Amino acid sequence: MAGRHFLHVPGPTNVPDRVLRAMHVPMEDHRSPVFPALTLPLFQRLKSLVRTETGEAFIFPSSGTGAWEAVLTNTLCAGDRVLSPRFGQFSHLWIDLAQRHGLDVVIQEEEWGIGASPQNIHDALAADRDHSIKAVMVVQNETATGVTSDIGAVRAAMDAAKHPALLFVDGVSSIASIDMRMDEWRVDGIVTGSQKGLMLPAGLGIAVMSRKAMEAMEAARTRDPLKRCYFDFLDMQKANATGYFPYTPSLPLLYGLREALDIIDEEGLDQVIARHRFLAEGVRRGVKQGWGLKLCAREPKWESDTVSAILVPEGVDGAAVIRRAFERYNLALGAGLSKVAGKLFRIGHLGDLNELMCLAALSGAEMAMRDVGIAVEPGSAVAVASEYYRSADKASSLKAAA
Amino acid sequence: MAGRHFLHVPGPTNVPDRVLRAMHVPMEDHRSPVFPALTLPLFQRLKSLVRTETGEAFIFPSSGTGAWEAVLTNTLCAGDRVLSPRFGQFSHLWIDLAQRHGLDVVIQEEEWGIGASPQNIHDALAADRDHSIKAVMVVQNETATGVTSDIGAVRAAMDAAKHPALLFVDGVSSIASIDMRMDEWRVDGIVTGSQKGLMLPAGLGIAVMSRKAMEAMEAARTRDPLKRCYFDFLDMQKANATGYFPYTPSLPLLYGLREALDIIDEEGLDQVIARHRFLAEGVRRGVKQGWGLKLCAREPKWESDTVSAILVPEGVDGAAVIRRAFERYNLALGAGLSKVAGKLFRIGHLGDLNELMCLAALSGAEMAMRDVGIAVEPGSAVAVASEYYRSADKASSLKAAA
Amino acid sequence: MAGRHFLHVPGPTNVPDRVLRAMHVPMEDHRSPVFPALTLPLFQRLKSLVRTETGEAFIFPSSGTGAWEAVLTNTLCAGDRVLSPRFGQFSHLWIDLAQRHGLDVVIQEEEWGIGASPQNIHDALAADRDHSIKAVMVVQNETATGVTSDIGAVRAAMDAAKHPALLFVDGVSSIASIDMRMDEWRVDGIVTGSQKGLMLPAGLGIAVMSRKAMEAMEAARTRDPLKRCYFDFLDMQKANATGYFPYTPSLPLLYGLREALDIIDEEGLDQVIARHRFLAEGVRRGVKQGWGLKLCAREPKWESDTVSAILVPEGVDGAAVIRRAFERYNLALGAGLSKVAGKLFRIGHLGDLNELMCLAALSGAEMAMRDVGIAVEPGSAVAVASEYYRSADKASSLKAAA
Amino acid sequence: MAGRHFLHVPGPTNVPDRVLRAMHVPMEDHRSPVFPALTLPLFQRLKSLVRTETGEAFIFPSSGTGAWEAVLTNTLCAGDRVLSPRFGQFSHLWIDLAQRHGLDVVIQEEEWGIGASPQNIHDALAADRDHSIKAVMVVQNETATGVTSDIGAVRAAMDAAKHPALLFVDGVSSIASIDMRMDEWRVDGIVTGSQKGLMLPAGLGIAVMSRKAMEAMEAARTRDPLKRCYFDFLDMQKANATGYFPYTPSLPLLYGLREALDIIDEEGLDQVIARHRFLAEGVRRGVKQGWGLKLCAREPKWESDTVSAILVPEGVDGAAVIRRAFERYNLALGAGLSKVAGKLFRIGHLGDLNELMCLAALSGAEMAMRDVGIAVEPGSAVAVASEYYRSADKASSLKAAA
């Protein structure tokens, strides 16, 4: 198909040309004396990205799923209890992974359309008098429903319950797009992948661990830690200390990561986060005020700044919109998964993105909807979103985000 | 600035990723035994692009301006008379080049907003009883005003005048986008550059010459041909015959040209031309019916399928729209040049392009116009254009173009 | 440093320009309807690479170490006994991984410089009357010592012992370079990574499993299979069946893999293997006849066609040669690891390689050796190797390899 | 063919990966407000490259041949006399170009194997009492014979003759490789192309003009200047002043030029020149002391640091060596041209180059020579060259060059 493809799934996201260029490198010896000059700063910069000074960053050649596995298998023992709310496909999958590794997961079912409930977490922890729950697992941004949980509120709930459980957060579709304050919120383990806010191809699983988590890891060894080797933090830690890896890392992705972090630094992390909010708000207004459609997120406080899940009217198959957009308009939208299959389509708005890209996605989704019989008004979403983009001041939007 | 840049000047155009990849090559010996396997097919394929079987194609390491110079200096002699209508900046520049090489140009001034007048050409030639006019120079697509001349009608006028002048056509912003029927219209020299419909960076000046033009070249040698060496057709012809060049060609551009021609072949030249018409028509309807603005092209028959020049209301500076679009919305629009400076802005819609790209350009131009005080209705152009894009059938559009 | 870097570690290997170009792609939706057209053929082609018709191929976003882990954790249960010879750093690491996952590894220590002993394997299996040994793990090419085990002979020994154990082979530094006949030798699990014979960056862990191994996987589920989720074959199998993956794959590497397999097909797998033997033989002759030095491999039958480990004279530190080559001559050589640290340096000769690259590596290693005081004769290795390269007929070399 | 191609023609030269990456860019508007930030520094940096403060640099989308044409057609008038020694194919071609533009060239025939004779130039100028000779045209490095002329000595000869002629120098295969001191030697026009020492693909024709040359240009306008438009310095000067070009420049090459100049700056121009001398000296010693063959350059003082032309023994066809090297060893050597066709082959050693690349070229040329029956000793050139590379100190070599 002629012309540019418009990629608006919530990951993988558009990789900036600069990053693709940075990855176009000949191979080199990953045990050479000059290699650490590339790698050592990366660990430090990943920590800044989640605003931690005391944490420790790990980079695995894997997807984000591998980093999930690393966090759990390094810090917990067979049969350990963990608490986790489930409110979408990705919170579900993380729970599934935990169970398959032999953890005893206390699942809090929440409606698909809202996020983790600090109150429910508080209550469950308060009831856990003997502290049998070793960790709380929360998805910061549920990619399937376009819902963001309030991690600061979860931390406050845990504190209120005076519970010592570790706090593990899935930040796959939020890191570098939605604020993460690891030290302030005392998050113990954060997981992300390279193919979302980091604007890279998939292939890096990233975890940042708190000191408390690393101590839990030491303690687990005296009990019966879950088995792992590829995802072992200790092997990594030992090799990383001098800038190396226990096995061959993916060089292009490390070079790409350096460039992506440069891009984020140049824009400024605060501004990156504000830009995501700003662009997302335009899309949401277009959807609600322009098209008169509803988001899967039940209330504004749950609305995600990285992906909007748009409910299609009863009787229409959301998948038909996606198929039409892909085949006719060169636009990739995200599908409804599992429980919400067919009920919605998703517009990813994260990573390397600007106003015109969002307006093009709205235009394309609108044409596809009209083609399959959804009677939205032509140009209506663009009219609303573009007026918002015009009038809103990025700087003040930044202030609001800070 | 975050996100993708939207390039909508009428050249250079967006280079497809495939072409950029094809150009990312290590150097090689341009005199090696395998080199002709790359080059020889290129000449043949360029001929197909302008629908000639008897013509001869030349590729210079230059811009299109260089190819202009090649066509004139190889076929004409000092003091020769040529006839050329002037109706925009690029017809003006070609005339200027001819004059600086010592040609005597009979200039037909036409309004900026219409194209070459077959009638006027007929009359001038009919009046030229002794055939002192050696060539007629016509710009097929005047990039400055978004006006397309009817080359078939020019040929008919020349025939009606029974005049033997050569017909030279500037196809810089039309070849591979607007139909060119070299053999059918008996065009004697066509000039183009790589950075427009060919979807490449600038750097190749291309000329396709008829047998009659090559014979005129031979004849000119017996008179007092204009001086040239770098742009000499004979040197090229001799070296090209075996797949080589008289001096070092730009390898990446030759590899890119091969890939670009593959892309055109895969879509089909007829469909490429139909797509340009289809996308252009959406833009024009958005401009006229949506915004209620006028094009520089005075009548539909002059409207260009590769660039639309949009007149801004009196009292507004078109340059302000362009500046705002560039600085705030990451959108590059074309400026008004010379006589029409400030009076218009241009949306290029040629090359590797699709519906969403055009809608994004319309959205961005609309926001920029509103920002500088032009009271167009929000979403109005997108509404009209997207409905056209939805309803129109590409296949029937193709038929119309054929 | 000016000029090209000469990368002669035994992995990562030189990535052909074509492959780097193929990897330079914008992202796309890995759940789109067109994605399987890319992925489905890859599985089939990986099978051809190890000459199996009945096996099943898996591609993980990981290094080869991850694929090791996948093979063991999917097919074995906690406490299962496995047999493995240890004769270098990589056989050691695989054993370590097995142990850390709770397997009971019967280790056969072999001298570093020879490979797996079919006789010893036979004897151990013959003595294992109750078939407590569930699998035999053998490294086909021990990268640390430049030693190749004879997998066909290992299979024959297992057959002679009439033992039903699975046969797992580490082919990380041999696949696509040294012959692997999965069906003929009835290998049950083969592991490789992308960054060696496959000429890609690291980032893909590849496993090919026999039917017997997949049945063992099913049986293990009724016992107490090792825990895994990221590396689960069933999840992969289910998603792969329609061309998708259970989590986001690394798109550039999949595109790169397709291109690398094209390159191998164009040369022909037999010829690729023959070329590796041919180039390796030149290097070995240069080392032995030219320099008068010894290889770590004790006998010609153990010599690896992908890497030569060259013993430096007593009293010289092999690491000094490597450092000098890297810093002064822009040449990366492999170090001696663990037991052989300092005693040798390694020249990797696998992947996208030809005669002049090998001669350059020999020249560079020679200069570095002379610089640190090893009295090899200037030009001696190049003289011998280049005469071999001239006289030997690649075609006959191919026949010998077949 | 597997493995890396070894490109050792004297241009195009190997383009560093960094430069290829820098060229892999999306298009942009060459009239945008940010474009001059790219272009303006380039002019200044090109001046530094030829060590001028008062000169003016021009960049044309063309090959070096185009820049030749620009220098002559902008400064001279029809029928003007110029003086030029001819001692190889490229001095011949420049003379031919001058003649075809109507200049009256006084040709000094020198033997192919020596360079411009300062004495002969002095004598011709001294005899030209009425200063009818307007310019002296000298090739600094004759690529066809591997001969370097002494431009400082030419200037001294012109001074001694007290002759006011302009001094034009072809630096195509010398600039950025062999020293050029424009201000010190009062050179009035220097021509180069992008595909040699500048390590870029072909496509940029570069000229640097002195104030005196620019004044001559003004004066020529009052006489009867040669015709030109594409290569007009005034058009360029006017547009360049604000960072723009009179027609569309080749963006990738401008980005590549910036990167190439960065690379040169990082190494340091003096060191770049010293490295060329150092690498060339190794090759020459290999040829003479190792192989016992002769260079086309008659005396050491004529030997070029960018290309060595090696005479093959009587009765052998040099072209056979080149063909064999290309087809069997993936090595591109330069051919003998015109008068010396078949009598020699050339090893280009300029641009992005190091010791191992030169040794690989020597090895490959040696194998090819032996294959076609030239009885050079195996390994002999590598032995001599590598010992030179080891013993010689780059720093002292630098001093010698300074």
Write the pLDDT tens digit of every residue in B138-171: 999 999 999 999 999 999 999 999 999 999 999 9
Q: Which residue of A has its CA nearest to C13?
A: A27
Mean pLDDT for chain B overall: 96
Specify whether the CB–CB gap between D110 and D87 falls below 8 A.
Answer: yes
Shortest Cα distance from D75 to chain C (angstroms)?
38
Evaluate if residue B108 carries a pLDDT over 60. Answer: yes
Q: List, for residues B19-56, the tens digit of each pLDDT value.
A: 999 999 999 999 999 999 999 999 999 999 999 999 99
Interface predicted TM-score of the whole assembly (ipTM), two decimals = 0.96
What is the number of residues in chain C?
402
C212 and C290 assigned to the same domain: no
Distance separating the N- and C-terminal Cα atoms of chain D: 42
Q: Which residue has the tokens 């569930």?
A: C134
User: Could you tell me the pLDDT band of residue C394, with boundaries at 50, 70 and 90?
Assistant: low
Q: Which chains contact A through at least 3 pairs of Cβ atoms less than 8 Å apart?
A: B, C, D
A334 and A347 assigned to the same domain: yes
Among B382, B388, B390, B393, most A C-beta atoms within 10 A, so best to mutate, is B382
Distance separating the N- and C-terminal Cα atoms of chain A: 42
* Contact call for C14 and D4, based on CB within 8 A: yes
* Contact call for B353 and A379, based on CB within 8 A: no
Task: Answer yes or no: is D257 within a domain.
Answer: yes
* Contact call for D7 and B14, based on CB within 8 A: no
Q: Which helix (H) or strand (E) holds C208?
A: strand C204-209
Task: Answer yes or no: is D361 within a domain.
Answer: yes
Specify whether the CB–CB gap between D100 and B229 falls below 8 A.
Answer: yes
What is the number of residues in chain A?
402
* Contact call for D201 and B250, based on CB within 8 A: yes
Task: Answer yes or no: is D251 within a domain.
Answer: yes
C125 and C158 assigned to the same domain: yes
Mean pLDDT for chain C overall: 96
CATH of the domain at D295: 3.90.1150.10
Evaluate if residue C399 carries a pLDDT over 70. Answer: no
- Write down the pLDDT at residue A400: 47
Closest in D63, D247, D332 to B28, CB measured:
D332
Mean pLDDT of B372-389: 98
Q: Which residue of A has its CA nearest to C348?
A: A29
D157 and D118 assigned to the same domain: yes
Evaluate if residue C327 carries a pLDDT over 90. Answer: yes
- Write down the pLDDT at residue C391: 87
User: Could you tell me the pLDDT band of residue A393, with boundaries at 50, 70 and 90?
Assistant: low
State the count of interchain CB pairs (< 8 A) between C and D: 132
A274 and A250 assigned to the same domain: no
Q: pLDDT > 90: what percent of chain C?
A: 96
D355 and D261 assigned to the same domain: no
Q: How many domains does chain C have?
A: 2
- Write down the pLDDT at residue A391: 87
Of A217, A236, A265, the one marking the end of a domain is: A265
D127 and D245 assigned to the same domain: yes
Among C21, C24, C27, C28, most B C-beta atoms within 10 A, so best to mutate, is C21
Provide, as residue numbers in chain A, all residues whose Cβ is less than 8 Å from the Cβ of B381: 379
At C64, the amino acid letter reads: G
Of D206, D233, D265, the one marking the end of a domain is: D265
D192 and D277 assigned to the same domain: no
Among C17, C19, C326, C354, most D C-beta atoms within 10 A, so best to mutate, is C354
Instruction: Please give the distance of CA D285 from its chain centroid, rounded to a whole number.
Output: 23
Residue range(s) defining the domain that contains residue C129: 17-265
Task: Answer yes or no: is D10 within a domain.
Answer: no
A122 and A243 assigned to the same domain: yes
Mean pLDDT for chain A overall: 96
Three-state secondary-structure class, residue C225:
strand
CATH of the domain at C123: 3.40.640.10
D33 and D176 assigned to the same domain: yes
CA dist D289 and D291 (Å) reads 6
Strand ranges of the sheet holding B204-209, from the earlier edge strand across to the other edge? B56-61, B204-209, B189-193, B166-170, B133-139, B81-86, B104-109
Strand ranges of the sheet holding A104-109, from the earlier edge strand across to the other edge? A56-61, A204-209, A189-193, A166-170, A133-139, A81-86, A104-109
Q: pLDDT > 70: what percent of chain A?
A: 98
Evaluate if residue B401 carries a pLDDT over 60. Answer: no
Task: Find the chain D residues whose C-beta atoms sit closer than 8 A to any C-beta of C.
Answer: 1-4, 6, 14, 24, 267, 272, 275, 290, 329-331, 352-357, 359-361, 363-364, 366-367, 370-371, 377-384, 386-387, 389-390
Is the sign of the CA dihedral A234, A239, A244, A247 positive or negative? Answer: negative
Provide, as residue numbers in chain A, all residues whose Cβ is less than 8 Å from the Cβ of C9: 29, 31
As beta bridge partners, residue A309 has: A346
Evaluate if residue B231 carries a pLDDT over 80. Answer: yes
Task: Answer yes or no: is B4 within a domain.
Answer: no
Task: Answer yes or no: is A3 within a domain.
Answer: no
* Contact call for B21 and C24, based on CB within 8 A: yes
- Write down the pLDDT at residue A210: 98
Q: What is the mean pLDDT of each run of 10 residues along chain D (402 residues)?
A: 96 98 98 98 98 98 97 97 98 98 98 98 98 98 98 98 98 98 98 98 98 97 94 98 97 98 98 98 98 98 98 97 98 96 97 98 98 98 98 56 42
Shortest Cα distance from B375 to chain A (angstroms)?
13
Evaluate if residue C55 carries a pLDDT over 70. Answer: yes
Q: List, for residues A189-215, the tens digit of each pLDDT value.
A: 999 999 999 999 999 999 999 999 999
A332 and A208 assigned to the same domain: no
User: Could you tell me the pLDDT band of residue C380, with boundaries at 50, 70 and 90?
Assistant: very high
Evaluate if residue B238 carries a pLDDT over 60. Answer: yes
C243 and C273 assigned to the same domain: no
CA-based nearest residue to D347, from B206, B29, B340: B29
Evaluate if residue A397 carries a pLDDT over 70. Answer: no
Residue A307 exposure: Cα atoms within 13 Å on the Cβ side = 33
Shortest Cα distance from B34 to chain D (angstroms)?
10
- Write down the pLDDT at residue A392: 74
Evaluate if residue C401 carries a pLDDT over 90. Answer: no
Helices (H), C76-150: 89-100, 118-127
Shortest Cα distance from A249 to chain C (angstroms)?
6
* Contact call for A248 and C193, based on CB within 8 A: yes
Mean pLDDT of C235-262: 97
User: Could you tell me the pLDDT band of residue C255, with boundaries at 50, 70 and 90?
Assistant: very high
Q: Which chains contact B through at least 3 pairs of Cβ atoms less than 8 Å apart?
A: A, C, D
Task: Answer yes or no: is B80 within a domain.
Answer: yes
Of B208, B239, B265, the one marking the end of a domain is: B265
Q: Which residue of A has its CA nearest to C70?
A: A230
- Write down the pLDDT at residue A394: 55
Task: Answer yes or no: is D200 within a domain.
Answer: yes
Mean pLDDT of C34-61: 98
Shortest Cα distance from B21 to chain C (angstroms)?
6
CA dist C345 and C365 (Å) reads 9
Provide, as residue numbers in chain A, all residues whose Cβ is less than 8 Å from the Cβ of D22: 21
